[in-house]
Amino acid sequence: MTVSQSYSNARDDSSRPIVGGGIAVVALPFETVFEGSNGRYYTDWQVRHRLRTDEWTFCMQQRTPHRRLVETDDDALLLLVPIEPEELPAGREIRVSGCRARVVDTRRVPSA
């Protein structure tokens, strides 16, 4: 099932989930969702942010198939492969706040 909503309606609703459990809603703050070799998921906004803040260092990119390799701040290599937002597993959703979009694991209980 696909649900559409314009970005103008969603941008004022802080941290509103827009993708999760196979239901997708169109929004502008992200174009690509990546599955990491660490089992986590990232939007292109999260990837750009981590590269800009030097949390990650770009290593290389392959075009066919499209993949990116980055080095994390703990010196580990992380392979990022693009997936369709609808392919996010249940319990993961994309939340938009302003022009930021991030993948959130809703199955985790916040630490006290």
Q: What's the CA gap between 80 and 34, in Å, rounded?
A: 6
Domain assignment of residue 77, given as a range: 7-105
| Domain assignment of residue 1, yes or no | no
| Domain assignment of residue 2, yes or no | no
| Domain assignment of residue 73, yes or no | yes
Sign of the alpha-carbon torsion through 54, 37, 68, 109: negative
Instruction: Enter the tokens of residue 33.
Output: 């969702």
| pLDDT tens track for 15-56 | 545 555 555 555 456 789 999 999 999 999 999 999 999 999
What's the structural domain count of the chain? 1
User: In this predicted structure, what is the pLDDT of residue 96?
Assistant: 86
| Domain assignment of residue 33, yes or no | yes
Q: What's the CA gap between 5 and 19, in Å, rounded?
A: 11
| pLDDT tens track for 83-109 | 998 899 999 998 888 888 899 988 866
